[in-house]
Structure 1
């Protein structure tokens, strides 16, 4: 008898014909509850401890042409060890139609001691789509570090296609078991890693001098990637400043 969990949630957004956003599909599942709030916003609410080792979670978000949606979360996603061997897997698919706009701004993913999460995010953007996507990763909880425990492992891949062509494809593998994860070419002594991707929308301001952050223009025009390392989640959030509309 297995103790692992499989769950898939789905969001579909479309214009409501009155200048707002309708959500014809808002289907939570397992630990992923979905709550609609004002202003074209959906909040992800965790209803149980997850993901645990061996769990398989999926979330699919589709914005039909002309829709606007912001997706946030009520709290951090904490990856925890489970009874089953092997990593937990969380697959996120974001599809943004022509002239639509998605703000994907969840709270951080935290890799707790003893855990391993494989996080895959796939984004498909139609011509004229707008995107702001922020990812924040925290390696170890505060009390893990306080007792000298190593953080968990987080293997993350982000792929983005715009108008049928690849825009970004990157993978990181950090935490115990990953080669060189704590060295100067990776975390370099920091505990958090994050990035802010903007496509078809205003770019964020350049990071302050002296910080471990960089703002890059991606090939193809109209897209930027801000990446940052920081000692804690609060400092990371300050570096990943959202651009003004």
Structure 2
């Protein structure tokens, strides 16, 4: 989301909201500030919402959020029209970007935004919280690009927390850039790469057919979680190579 006014504007707060119903309807589709939501064309049986950036965001001090509810039996795909670019702003405070998701019984959500780019001088705290019913299915992709071409990254802290049927499934925090714990760029973490991401797939079918831990190409690993879920973690030299790794995992674990 890199459109409109830039770092000269003041900080803002905005919350966009989505609710998808089993009949394909969107009883709630509410844009706010830089978070513009548009219903877009989808494959048969799916409802699709695309996030379109209305101005540069998030900047330092911004407080942005998206809330998504997938009601019982609904099938929702959420994507974005462009990468999200975290930039420095007038405020010395870090920006915050929260994603809050709930998926009901037999609901399906594919959360597939474009990359998040952490520009030099930016400071962003991003948190994604997911509540899943016992029979819900989820595909969630996160991609972080650490710095634009030829520049060092900003500070980026992300946390992904997922609960299924009221029980913890995954709670993971990652930090990169200035101020992050030492070693984030070392061989045990990024190994000098500037693109990193993960793909989480939750599917009740994994209960009987759990995923096996294995490498997926160079720089990616698939691992089962303590529940009917699999987590793919990947590092790559650039955004294109990262997307190829995660697309290969998506085609294997959760084809449409």
Q: Normalization by structure 2: what TM-score?
A: 0.87
Match of 2:143 among 133, 136, 148: 136
1:127 equivalent in structure 2: 134
1:157 equivalent in structure 2: 159
- Conserved? CA contact 2:213–2:221, under 8 Å: no
Mapped partners of 1:93, 1:61: distance in 2? 6
2:17 equivalent in structure 1: 10
- Does residue 93 (structure 1) correspond to residue 96 (structure 2)? The answer is no
- Alpha-carbon shift at residue 3 of structure 1 (Å): 1.7
- Alpha-carbon shift at residue 227 of structure 1 (Å): 0.4
Deviations 1:82-122 (A, max 9, x none): 01012100010010000000000000000000001100000
- Conserved? CA contact 2:146–2:153, under 8 Å: yes
Match of 1:54 among 56, 61, 64: 61
Mapped partners of 2:105, 2:139: distance in 1? 15
- Does residue 233 (structure 1) correspond to residue 246 (structure 2)? The answer is no
Mapped partners of 1:151, 1:52: distance in 2? 15
- Conserved? CA contact 1:195–1:228, under 8 Å: yes
- Conserved? CA contact 1:41–1:69, under 8 Å: yes
- Alpha-carbon shift at residue 208 of structure 1 (Å): 3.7
Deviations 1:178-204 (A, max 9, x none): 122211222210001100000016779
Mapped partners of 1:204, 1:47: distance in 2? 42
- Alpha-carbon shift at residue 54 of structure 1 (Å): 0.4
Please list every run of 5 or more consecutive structure 1 residues that lacks an aligned counterpart in the other structure: none
Mapped partners of 1:206, 1:238: distance in 2? 17
1:37 equivalent in structure 2: 40
Q: Normalization by structure 1: what TM-score?
A: 0.91
- Does residue 173 (structure 1) correspond to residue 175 (structure 2)? The answer is yes
- Alpha-carbon shift at residue 205 of structure 1 (Å): 10
Match of 2:80 among 73, 76, 94: 73
Moved over 2 A (4+): 201-209
Equivalent residue of 2:160, what SS? strand
1:108 equivalent in structure 2: 115
Mapped partners of 1:231, 1:22: distance in 2? 40
Deviations 1:142-167 (A, max 9, x none): 1xx1xxx3211110000000001000
- Conserved? CA contact 1:207–1:239, under 8 Å: no
